[in-house]
Structure 1
Amino acid sequence: MDPGVGRSWVPASSSSEDATGVTVGPELCGEPGFPMQLACQVPCWEDCAMSEWGQWMPCSHTCLGGEGSRVGDSATQGRQVRVRAILALPGDGGRQCPDRLGLQEWRPCNQYGCTVHYWHALPWGPCVHEVTQGSPNASQVVADGEAACATGVQMRVLTCVHVGGGQLPTDRCPLSQAPMSRRACLVPCRRDCTLSPFSDWTPCPDPCRQTDGVPTPRQWRFRVVIQRASGGGRPCPKSLSDMRPCPTRPCPQYRWRTYRWGRCHLLASSSARAAGANPGESPCGQGLQTRGVSCHVEGEGHVDPRECLTRAAPMPMLAQPCRVPCASDCALSTWSPWTHCPSHLGCGATQTRRRSLTGRSKRREECKVAHTFPLLESQLCPCNTHTSRPTGPWSDCIVTLGEGRPGDGPAVAGEPECGKGMRLQAVSCYDHEEHLTRPEMCNSPGWREEACEVACPVDCALGEWISWSPCSKSCGAGMSMRSRKIQGAPSHGGRPCPPPHHALQMYEAVPCYSDCALYTWVSDPWEVCSVPLSGMCGEGTQTRTVRCEVQGVEGPGTPVEEVWCDPTERPQDARACVLQCPGACVMSEWGPWTRCPQCQWQLTVTHNRTTHCYGF
């Protein structure tokens, strides 16, 4: 039928289904209980274009009336509304759009009586053992697979309340509808916390290899939880580790020991030259001689030389140049020992040693040249110097009172346990031959000190309490909570944060009771799309009224302040819209999806929308 001709009949499609939703033949269902044809109207292109009716909104009343109300009383009957929107304004001579009431449709709803009084049950209490209940079977278990050692009973409190709020005597609620207030339960067995034995102590670092500034080493041992406590058994300890300072011991003294120089071995180039110059003579010339070096530790003898490389003086030379005399060379005796250094002259004294010409060299003039073959050498006597070196690790920080020096005696009662103090390290004195001597030779008391500080205990720092939260139950008994942030965690043995706490906040809860009135957001239908500039068509804004109402059983909702409703659930009160111009093609919203056929694969479901085209 062409647009605008008049009314036409639209056939309705139907199908027959059984109780499981499977399509069956129409002969099994008989006559349909609904019309197979509905009157409709095909709009003309210049008519007002409107969308399909929307979904029915929630009923204004949850039930029919309250105490004393009568069926048919319009003040206590619920109503539902559904709306439709204007998609495009009419053109010249077209059918006008309906007014605001024409965009709404109402129907009655919730035509059943209200339940004014009802039972409210508090949470179940703990499972309490009752001797009269007897023991459970061996196969009975409680939650998490734990065995039950006894049969007990759980109780909970029942109260009779009014739907609008307030507690009533129990005889006001029907006993036949009262929930169970007592039930049997299984008491879990008492189990203490079971721990594994401690592990071995962790190894201590070598104190003689530590450098300055390293704190006193400690060693640890650990254990693990084999079974956690249950059923009121002894709980597990908070700490599963143990610590102790590493034992201290004196560091051994390492030193190098040298052996006599070996025979001088000619270098290859020097031996060839000498042998070629005077045939028949023994090889002579420049060579190299070596000696053995070993590492010794006091009281233990030979040790790995690598120990002396890190703990003793530099390693002595293992090789030095030498000369194998030729037959034509001047023959000299070996050097005599150095003369004794007089101690009374101090560091300014000298010591000498001598040698002499031997054999035919005594008669050879070229051997008597002093600058070529010196027969006397002198050198400054070694000064009797002493050096000090730190030995071992630093001590723990010692907090002192007044100006007393460390080592003056034991700490007195009342001495502070934190603050600034001193720590000590042993200092050894060595002479020029690396022999350990008295500390006085190095003008040292035998230790050195360094300023330190023992951190004072810091207690848990808490912020201010925030306001109490709303009651957890919107109706009846619940819990209200408040919290405050943990601004600083405890350290160095300070007072811990009071439980219960979680992450960086601690909480406090108190019981509360909320009025059983239901506060809910109610929104009116959307207004017609308002186009601010032309007023005819284009982009605009739709608005609607949103209010908070308290919903009772004895009448419609009563508007209250918005603070009583949850602000996060507040409906939108404005949205953008488009009002199509006359002659444009407009489409309705998508309709619902069609039903998916039963027990068939790879089928497609569809949904439709209506198209209104103008000016074509």
Structure 2
Amino acid sequence: STFPNGSLRLTRAQKEDTAEYECVARNLLGSVLVRVPLTMRVHGGYSEWAEWGICSVSCGVGTQKRLRLCNNPLPANGGHHCAGSDTETRSCQKQLCPVDGHWSEWSHWEECSQTCGQGNRTRIRTCSNPPAQHGGRSCEGKAVDVIMCSVRPCPVAGNWGPWLPWSPCSESCGKGVQSRIRLCNNPPPTFDGLQCEGTDTQSQVCKETSCPVDGKWSSWMSWGSCSVSCGGGTRERTRLCASPAPQHRGRKCEGNDVHTDFCNSNPCPINGNWGPWNSWGSCSKTCNGGQMRRYRTCDNPRPAHGGRMCAGADVHMQRCSTADCPVDGNWGSWQPWGDCSASCGGGERTRVRLCNSPSPVNGGRPCPGDSTQLSRCNIQTCPGGPQRARGSIVGNINDIEFGISLLNASITEGKSGSRIIHASISNVPRPLGPAMRKLISILSPIYWTTAQEVGEAVNGHTLTGGIFRRETQVEFATGEILRMTHIARGLDSDGALLLDIVLNGHILQLPSHANINIKDYTEDYIQTGLSQLYALSTRLFTIDKESVPYSWNHTITYDQKRGKMPYLVETLHATSISALYRPLEEVLEYSIQASITKGDRSNQCPHGFTLVSAGPYCADENECEVGNPCSHTCHNAMGTYYCSCPRGLSISADGRTCQDIDECLLGGNMCHGGQDCENTIGSYRCVMHCGRGFRRTTDGLSCTDVDECQESHPCNQHCLNTIGSYRCACEPGFQLRNRRCIDINECRQRVCRSDQQCKNTRGGYTCVDLCPNGMTKSENGTCDDIDECKDGTHQCQYNQICENTRGSYHCTCPHGFRSQGLGRLCLDIDECEVRDACQHECMNTPGSHRCLCPAGYRLMTNGKMCQDIDECVEQNIQCGANRMCFNTRGSYQCIDTPCPPNYQRDPATGFCLKSCPPNDLECALSPYALEYKLLSLPYGIAANQDLIRLVAYMQDGVVHPRTTFLLVDEDVKLPFALRDENMKGVLFTTRPLREPLTYRMKVRALSYSENRGIEYQTTFTVYIAVSAYPY
């Protein structure tokens, strides 16, 4: 409805009517819209009561509750909450509560149960204050209490203890008396108990050992015969220590049992003997037959004391100079001149004469002077360069100084459009000759100067006139570098190119027998200036079919007035290359064919060069100035560049980037054993090495302990930090297991006696005990063990060991003795009856044993094995000149090791090496070396056992590939033989070695050349000593 004032009244509304309403008023003038929010307030109302809750107690009187909720309806939009309480309470009772029982007071103690000795007294109590009711707990503890009581001690009768050990015998030798006693203490009589019955002492006759008897001498026996009939000898007489002989450790007779006297002192007659023949005298004639004499004297020794004179003559004659007398030779006339060796450039012609007017015979002198005469011819210069070259070579290769070596070369025309150069170099040291075979570029000034010119290309002679300087560098793949300087001084009056060559550096060393093949190659000559050339090449040579690369580069300067090459690049072709070294003459020979053409791109500069049009010529391009391709340092080189790195860095595989060197990983550091290596960029540092449980300080100079107890540890009771580690500890009664403390069940370890009950507790245990046999009760009531070993009540024998145990004891035997049973003496164990107790001889001792070794051996530290004594070293045996100390098993020998005539001892090896005088054919055919081999063997080496492997070497230390071995003076009785096996001579046994002897053998090694001629001979003298023992 609407009120007169225009208000609107709502007569009914619900909660759901809450919203925003629009009221519109309209008239002729228009309309008005009003939006009115409407909110409906809802007051809360209770729901029905819920069921009653559980009682607050399980027994006796308690309470219980029930609830209702203000949700019928819920208050909304500012409506009032429900009026009244939402909780209701009432009392409740389920059952009677239980009552726990409690003890009454103790009753009085009863009388003691025994009239003497130990008894018991008791008292009681009841669970009645109050008694347990309604399921309550009964009283805890004992209802009866018992204590021990004693009115007075009971009487104890005495009993004998065991007999004590016998006293020492009254006499130290012979018969005596000893006694022993026993004590009435097992137990002693107490509290008026009876005494022990019987005697407390026993005696018996004893005899330790028989008394010693000292020995006395018998009378001297008759003199023996004299040891020699003249010259002074000796005779002896003897006596015996048998009147009486020493017995029972009595003293031996004093003095000697042998008396020596001199006899037959007259000198013996000496028979004369010839001394050696002296040298032959000179021949009476020089040819056609003469005589020569030699003499000897009777003085080796001279006859004396009636001895005989020497028999025979003292003069010896023989014929000499039986050859016919010589006729000296004389020259015949000169023959006509031969043809000239060259048509231009200077050649030679020769003529000869014969030594036939007359010819020399019978050793006559040859004709004096030369049989050949040389003359120069056709000395006019040839077109295309010189026909000959000569020069000198000096320097140092592989640290070997050159003397002056002479180079001579000849140049001839080839059939295939090239020139052939033949060259020889004299005075080449033998250690360098084989390796220099690959240095063909030592001839580069010659073959460049004389190369066959193809097309418009020019050789070195056309370009420079034979006057230039050439700097050459050779670099091998193995790192060796050799530098050469060639100075060409033009042509001499005979048209020969003159050279001076200096060598300095290292080359790849090659064995003399290696087969070398030098491959054909080309060299590009680049015009790098108005009067400068640069040439380079990469070449190959093969060693026994294995290829080896190496590179060359040359820089050539010459007179600018000579002009330039017609092309920027010319190519020299080298083919048909050979090299030969003759070690006997020390001559190195080369052969090469050379031609020169324009380059493949003759008017373009190669990579690494730039064209200078003003020349024109090719100037080196400095790659380092153009965008620096290196990560660190760039070095420009002719036609190329290379990168380098500072210390501590190395060049990587791309050749441009530097990478760190891990000195710690590669081992290039100076850290010692107590340090760790720590790599840094470009270097490293040495820091202290810290073990487990330590931590390195930040400066790396020291280590500090890690306190594991503060940081982390697995201990579950106590953690104790230690230096470098830690340890877990437990409370008493616990044991550590895997760093965990586990309670010890002491009862499992039988900590209580057999008549006790053990109760384990956490961290401990308790025992309830009485005292059994072998125990005695102390004043505080505990049971203490009786130590029978200390109080002498044990029954052990005198050589047994008494070991006390709780409540008893037992008797044991010491080490080296065995038991014979209870109450019997310990018996010594004879260890020598055990097999292999000692290697040589066993001596039994009381309780042990001792091993003995034969003379010349000593006992090893294991007390069982015998080791040979090296008298030669330990006693510094000096055997004298041309003798050697030979240590044998158990002894030593001084053996003769002389070097024969024409041999000298090598101080480094001890070998005898041959040193022959000139023209001594017999010496030259003898073995090159004599070698002594010493071998000491034990007794019983089996048959067919290899003993020594003999090897023959060539002079360069390589095993000779064609060598046979043979026994020189073979004795069929020797138990040894020799066989060839893999270029070695193997000496082996033919039967078991069962005789203690020393054998001497000679073995000759014959080494043959490829054409089966004897190349080397070596003689081995072998000494083999066989011991009397198998060790």
TM-score, normalization: structure 1?
0.15
Q: Please identify which structure carries the higher helix content.
A: 1
Quick one: higher RCO (CA 8 Å, sep 6+), 1 or 2? 1
Q: Please identify which structure carries the higher strand content.
A: 2
